[in-house]
A = this chain, B = another copy of it.
């Protein structure tokens, strides 16, 4: 550019922000990633996709839905190599990273590998599983699966699904059928143009009797010609808020027959004679759900970090208003209110990150415990209790972390002012892609209520003197209900604050529940009536849980500058959330009004403190320019140059105006007049003189 640049340039500003950080950025980054290996692998994956043409991101905002889908399929094909040649651990890290870069792809791939294959793993007998593996489900050579659960009129309520699978004894087949419009399979990722087979959830009917929802592997298309099989009707469900790279479709079955052996029979079996054998125990599906939720907590942290990397870097280079004439304008990040807008969100993203890491470890331990568990294990009840508790807590974590992330993305967008509204800032796509996390795999509100229901149950256990699982063990100590702050606002003071308040709101929900039971309501009715209190219980417990996990992680670290910073960040998270929900802390008397003022004051100061290292801190999130895909957040600070270049590249001037002749010209020429000499026409000189005279006369 021939244009002169104002001083200091945005690039110089960002370099100054990076000079002499009081901690080692790499060490901090390793801590946030759980291990050096995880960080190094992430950097490797980032480098690989940055150079892979299918993973080009800079032009993604201007692709049509059809172009996006085709490119997503290119990525899909490019991943098959890794899935068959990498360890599960490595491949999971790869997918986690790619999920941040391109959530559309992550889902489209996850439908085949996570959901379809997951359905087989959890529902197929060993022989069935090896049959489908022989067919090619692992390498996609022969079978590409999709997961046909949701129906047009039924989402959350799986037991209420209306697709039927009726056993036909004569031909030893099940007849899969969509009885009416509302039972149409809907939202099925991969159905519209990728899948050959589907794991269809349908009501098993034998001899006119319903046996509940089971899973039936049903072929949709001929694998050679890709033509739909007879009786299978599939359509594209079209444009979505985001994730348009996924080919979600609807499926209607009209008396489609599948061999009996295609019902997954690990749990319920149907014999050749139509005898239905139900499993002796209700299915242990906790584990499977837990895995999904764990990854959503991690994804919430990562997606929030991505948005924050952009917003914080931009706030460092963006200058508005100077404090005096001729002075350099102030960096947005130096305004206390802008620190207030972003620093607590940074702290929250870091807190969710550590929560995700610890949850992952807990999940792996539990999976192992479940895999090796024997029916007569003396610790069986303990393990199951812990599993149930973690399962319930993970429901709350999924809900409040995905909400927190979505909120973070939009707050980051707004903090960039007008430019956040440009598609090229990448905030619009981040928001649109992420938004689905609040409603899928369990609507957040419903999940919160599940978590709240479990907390009400835990409270019931606590008053009966039962030793509770670790996540809710604080309910065992009834003195926590009347705890008071020691005024230190230290990490342990904050943790007690959350436990005190959580115990009180859980108690309130439990007492409401019991009072409705006593008034003669059924358990379900009583639970419904105390929904709002259950919701509050889940909200407060969940924040306290995140804080506790974050604090535990930091407490385990060595005494270093990085740990010191993380303790500051943890205090900011805990105190800011207290401020956000201050009503409960006042209501239950943990803090006095004066102490709450002190909390606000401390949050102000902590925001300023974290702002001092904001750039190295977001650098430690280790997200490449390619991944964040936003000129506003460019690592080197070349914000406006990059933004301008991207806008120009994405919007070349058309050779001809697309509608000037048809629409604009007729308007302009409706009563065309010749240009006149403006000064003369306006009599400007005379008028100005007149006005000047009037002014002198004091009019």
Are the C-beta atoms of A237 and B320 separated by less than 8 Å?
Answer: no
The reply on A155 being an interface residue by CB < 8 A is yes
Determine which of B241, B664, B692 lies in contact with A427 in the assembled complex, contact meaning CB atoms within 8 Å. Answer: B241
The reply on A180 being an interface residue by CB < 8 A is yes
B-facing mask of A503-538, CB < 8 A → 1, else 0?
000001000000000000000110011011101000
The reply on A34 being an interface residue by CB < 8 A is no
Determine which of B127, B154, B653 lies in contact with A683 in the assembled complex, contact meaning CB atoms within 8 Å. Answer: B127
Instruction: List the B side residues contacting A681 at CB < 8 Å.
Output: 131, 134
The reply on A240 being an interface residue by CB < 8 A is yes
Determine which of B61, B70, B172 lies in contact with A659 in the assembled complex, contact meaning CB atoms within 8 Å. Answer: B70
Instruction: List the B side residues contacting A272 at CB < 8 Å.
Output: 685
User: A401 to nearest B CB, angstroms?
Assistant: 15
B-facing mask of A1-30, CB < 8 A → 1, else 0?
101111000000000000000000000000
Are the C-beta atoms of B647 and A3 separated by less than 8 Å?
Answer: no
Are the C-beta atoms of B235 and A653 separated by less than 8 Å?
Answer: yes
User: A697 to nearest B CB, angstroms?
Assistant: 12
The reply on A193 being an interface residue by CB < 8 A is yes
The reply on A346 being an interface residue by CB < 8 A is no
Contact A664/B73 with A421-B241, A671-B141 known, Cβ cut-off 8 Å: yes
B-facing mask of A129-159, CB < 8 A → 1, else 0?
0010011100111101000001011111100
Are the C-beta atoms of A668 and B127 separated by less than 8 Å?
Answer: no
Are the C-beta atoms of B695 and A142 separated by less than 8 Å?
Answer: no
The reply on A413 being an interface residue by CB < 8 A is yes
Instruction: List the B side residues contacting A691 at CB < 8 Å.
Output: 125, 269
In the assembly, what is the distance between CA of A340 and CA of B417, in Å? 32
The reply on A679 being an interface residue by CB < 8 A is yes
The reply on A587 being an interface residue by CB < 8 A is yes
In the assembly, what is the distance between CA of A73 and CA of B236, in Å? 30
The reply on A292 being an interface residue by CB < 8 A is no
Are the C-beta atoms of B340 and A237 separated by less than 8 Å?
Answer: no
Are the C-beta atoms of B77 and A666 separated by less than 8 Å?
Answer: yes
B-facing mask of A97-136, CB < 8 A → 1, else 0?
0000000000000000000000000000111100100111
Are the C-beta atoms of A141 and B181 separated by less than 8 Å?
Answer: no
Residue of B whose beta carbon sits closest to that of A525: B323
Size class of the contact patch on chain A? 35 or more
In the assembly, what is the distance between CA of A178 and CA of B644, in Å? 15
Determine which of B141, B261, B318 lies in contact with A667 in the assembled complex, contact meaning CB atoms within 8 Å. Answer: B141
In the assembly, what is the distance between CA of A339 and CA of B136, in Å? 48
- Within A653-687, which residues are at the interface with B (CB < 8 Å)? 653, 657-660, 663-673, 678-679, 681-685, 687
Q: Which of A43-51, A298-306, A361-369, A440-448 contacts B (4 or more CB under 8 A)?
A: A440-448
In the assembly, what is the distance between CA of A695 and CA of B329, in Å? 77
Instruction: List the B side residues contacting A422 at CB < 8 Å.
Output: 237-241
Are the C-beta atoms of A684 and B5 separated by less than 8 Å?
Answer: no
The reply on A609 being an interface residue by CB < 8 A is no
User: A454 to nearest B CB, angstroms?
Assistant: 16
Are the C-beta atoms of A684 and B261 separated by less than 8 Å?
Answer: yes
State the number of copies, please: 2
The reply on A598 being an interface residue by CB < 8 A is no
Are the C-beta atoms of A262 and B337 separated by less than 8 Å?
Answer: no
Are the C-beta atoms of B587 and A125 separated by less than 8 Å?
Answer: no
Contact A424/B239 with A160-B329, A323-B524 known, Cβ cut-off 8 Å: yes
B-facing mask of A602-617, CB < 8 A → 1, else 0?
0110000000000000
Residue of B whose beta carbon sits closest to that of A178: B3
The reply on A640 being an interface residue by CB < 8 A is yes
Determine which of B240, B250, B340 lies in contact with A428 in the assembled complex, contact meaning CB atoms within 8 Å. Answer: B240
Residue of B whose beta carbon sits closest to that of A74: B663
Instruction: List the B side residues contacting A672 at CB < 8 Å.
Output: 141-142, 223
Q: Which of A431-439, A455-463, A540-548 contacts B (4 or more CB under 8 A)?
A: A431-439
The reply on A294 being an interface residue by CB < 8 A is no
Are the C-beta atoms of B235 and A684 separated by less than 8 Å?
Answer: no
The reply on A479 being an interface residue by CB < 8 A is no
Contact A237/B647 with A77-B666, A141-B667, A160-B321 known, Cβ cut-off 8 Å: yes
Instruction: List the B side residues contacting A223 at CB < 8 Å.
Output: 668, 672
The reply on A478 being an interface residue by CB < 8 A is no
In the assembly, what is the distance between CA of A186 and CA of B647, in Å? 11
The reply on A226 being an interface residue by CB < 8 A is yes
In the assembly, what is the distance between CA of A681 and CA of B69, in Å? 36
Determine which of B131, B410, B695 lies in contact with A678 in the assembled complex, contact meaning CB atoms within 8 Å. Answer: B131
In the assembly, what is the distance between CA of A668 and CA of B224, in Å? 8
In the assembly, what is the distance between CA of A603 and CA of B77, in Å? 53
Are the C-beta atoms of A439 and B424 separated by less than 8 Å?
Answer: no
Are the C-beta atoms of B157 and A3 separated by less than 8 Å?
Answer: no
Are the C-beta atoms of A62 and B587 separated by less than 8 Å?
Answer: no
Are the C-beta atoms of A435 and B417 separated by less than 8 Å?
Answer: no
Are the C-beta atoms of B423 and A239 separated by less than 8 Å?
Answer: yes
User: A231 to nearest B CB, angstroms?
Assistant: 14
The reply on A194 being an interface residue by CB < 8 A is yes
Are the C-beta atoms of B269 and A62 separated by less than 8 Å?
Answer: no
User: A89 to nearest B CB, angstroms?
Assistant: 25
- Within A226-267, which residues are at the interface with B (CB < 8 Å)? 226, 235-242, 250, 259-262, 265
Are the C-beta atoms of A265 and B684 separated by less than 8 Å?
Answer: yes
Residue of B whose beta carbon sits closest to that of A589: B593
Determine which of B155, B531, B587 lies in contact with A586 in the assembled complex, contact meaning CB atoms within 8 Å. Answer: B587
Are the C-beta atoms of A647 and B439 separated by less than 8 Å?
Answer: no
Determine which of B126, B410, B588, B687 lies in contact with A687 in the assembled complex, contact meaning CB atoms within 8 Å. Answer: B126
Instruction: List the B side residues contacting A288 at CB < 8 Å.
Output: none
Are the C-beta atoms of B77 and A667 separated by less than 8 Å?
Answer: yes
Known: A157-B321, A238-B650. 6 other contacts (CB 8 A): A77-B667, A142-B673, A153-B318, A239-B423, A240-B421, A583-B585
Can you list 25 contacts pairing A with B, beta carbon distance less than 8 Å? A125-B687, A125-B691, A128-B682, A131-B678, A136-B671, A140-B668, A142-B673, A144-B664, A153-B319, A155-B320, A160-B321, A181-B644, A187-B418, A193-B657, A235-B651, A237-B422, A242-B421, A277-B695, A337-B445, A375-B699, A406-B410, A414-B438, A418-B440, A532-B603, A586-B593
